[in-house]
Amino acid sequence: MWVMKVGGGCLRDAAGIRQLPRVLNSAYGESSRLLVVSAIGKTTNRLLQIAEAAGRSDLGLADALLTKLRDDHQAIIHELLPDGSAHQLMHRLNEKYWTALWQRVQALSHLSEEIGYATDAILVYGELISSEIVKAYLEAQGFSLAWVDARRLIVTDGYHPEPTVIQSASQANVDAQLVPLFRTHKLVLTQGYIASDLRRRSVTLGREGSDYSAALFANMLGAQGMIAWKDVGRLYSADPNIYSDAQPLTELSYSQAAEITYYGAQILHPRTLRPLRERRIPLYVRPYFDPAGEGTIIAEKWVYPLPPIRTQRRGLILIEVESTDLSPLSLTEMLRDMENEGIEAYFVQGGVRTAAFAVKGSQDSLERWRAAIPAGWEVSVRQPVTLYTILYPDATLSSPNGEAIYFQRLPDRVHWLAYEG
């Protein structure tokens, strides 16, 4: 059993979808495979724009954006399928998804639901429509496959924006509804990113949710391995678009990969690795547009030595705290309170009376955290800043040239913060 994830950057247009049969034929065709797909291209961002317009009660703009999105999907369908099959698929998508999606948009404009749930109920359509198009195309290319709605499989607590998966309920659904499909089909298709809550409402799994979905399925199926097909098909020691000396990383441990992605490498999200490490399932990051090319293997084995690895995490908020009444600060308590509000801290530096944090979180969560700060502590907030990190630095590393607001050197890494712009 293998789980394969294909993201929206790969399925960005008709040419990207046409690549999928080649990819599937290149990897473990004799084994049972679960194919997990994302929405096409930037569909999720476009659906979010539609939801934001509806939230402002601008139904005219929402309608125009939705019409353009539907037209773009229909253009892809026409490129992939003969006219008769294309019209049949478009008719089915209109009946099953596009009409219902517009109804969701209208409901959001009247605020008839909680805003988070109402937005998620719109976002899930990207993956559903994409998976239907992929299914139709693969069948036209001679593949026999089953299709299943991931919302019937993965159950969460519904917390917005990143819910916690309820493992027992999800495992029961996988055993009852997904596993039996492999008795009649070698290939089963489902969606990443989408799930349901205990009230059977549609929810999303938050950032990098499609990779996370695939890892959850690999865990619950006891897969032999997971392949994440990427348009950039491996991890590098730095962004090759910025650093000409970036080196490919052919092998990493789970913890090394988690650390690199935590500090800003965009190709994965750390939580994708947790379900895999739990069952020692290797992750193969491979190039979608060159299936025979080398990728990166992520497994339990610690890899040493590694070259210096440069990452950057942009769009963080700099928080500076000073105790004006001379009472000591407690970094532990402040970090715990941030975590309770859903604020992620990526950089911490402090002493007895002063502290600095580079964090990511919603404005509401930051305001709640700030309101709970004791009297006598002064807080200033600046944004945005970028956190630069070098992991495994060598002895020749030089300090940043005057751009650092804060600089921190540890035995196995160097961090500094700089203003953006």
pLDDT tens profile 151-173: 999 999 988 778 999 999 999 99
Structure tokens at 155: 């159950």
pLDDT tens per residue across all 421 residues of the chain: 999 999 999 999 999 999 999 999 999 999 999 999 999 999 999 999 999 999 999 999 999 999 999 999 999 999 999 999 999 999 999 999 999 999 999 999 887 555 778 899 999 999 999 999 999 999 999 999 999 999 999 999 988 778 999 999 999 999 999 999 999 999 999 999 999 999 999 999 987 789 999 999 999 999 999 999 998 888 999 988 888 889 999 999 999 999 999 898 878 877 899 999 999 999 999 999 999 999 999 999 999 999 999 999 999 999 999 999 888 998 999 999 999 888 999 999 998 999 999 999 888 899 999 998 888 899 999 889 999 999 999 877 666 766 889 999 988 899 999 998 7
What letter would DSSP give residue 59?
H
Q: Does domain 2-299 have CATH number 1.10.287.40?
A: no
The CA distance from 138 to 253, in Å, is: 34
CA of residue 333 relative to chain centroid, distance: 29
Rounded distance between C-alpha atoms, residue 160 and residue 164, angstroms: 9
C-beta of residue 286 within 8 angstroms of C-beta of residue 233: yes
Q: Hey, do 2-299 and 309-419 end up sharing a CATH topology, with the first three levels equal?
A: no
Question: What's the CA gap between 260 and 395, in Å, rounded?
Answer: 20
Cβ(253)–Cβ(301) below 8 Å: yes
- What are 247's two structure tokens? 């080196």
* pLDDT value for 270: 76
pLDDT in tens, 196-212: 999 999 999 987 789 99
pLDDT digits (tens, 9 = 90+) for 344-393: 999 999 989 999 999 998 888 999 999 988 888 999 998 899 999 999 99
Residue of 340, 263, 249, 344 whose CA lies nearest to 297: 249
Contact 347, 382 (CB under 8 A): no
Residue extents of the structural domains in the chain: 2-299, 309-419
Q: CA-CA distance, 155 to 158, in Å (whole number)?
A: 8
Q: Is residue 255 packed enough to be buried (19+ CB in 10 Å), middle (13-18) or exposed (0-12)? A: middle
CA distance 263 to 222: 29
Tell me the residue ranges of DSSP E strands in 192-304.
Answer: 194-197, 202-204, 225-230, 235-236, 248-249, 251-253, 283-287, 296-299
Q: What pTM did the predictor assign?
A: 0.91
72: how many CB neighbours lie within 10 A of its CB? 16
Residue 226: its pLDDT value, please? Answer: 98
At 286, list the tokens: 């491979």
Cβ neighbours of residue 408 under 8 Å, at least 6 residues apart? 347, 349, 414, 415, 416
The DSSP bridge pattern shows strands 406-410 and 413-419 to be antiparallel
- Considering the domain 309-419 in this protein, what is its CATH number? 3.30.2130.10
Buried b / exposed e over 78-93, threshold 16 CB at 10 Å, is eebbeeeebeebbeeb
Helix (H) or strand (E) run with residue 214 in it: helix 209-221
**Cβ density class 110-145: b for 16+ within 10 Å, e for less:** eeeeeeebbbbbbbbbbbbbbbbbbbbbbeeeebeb
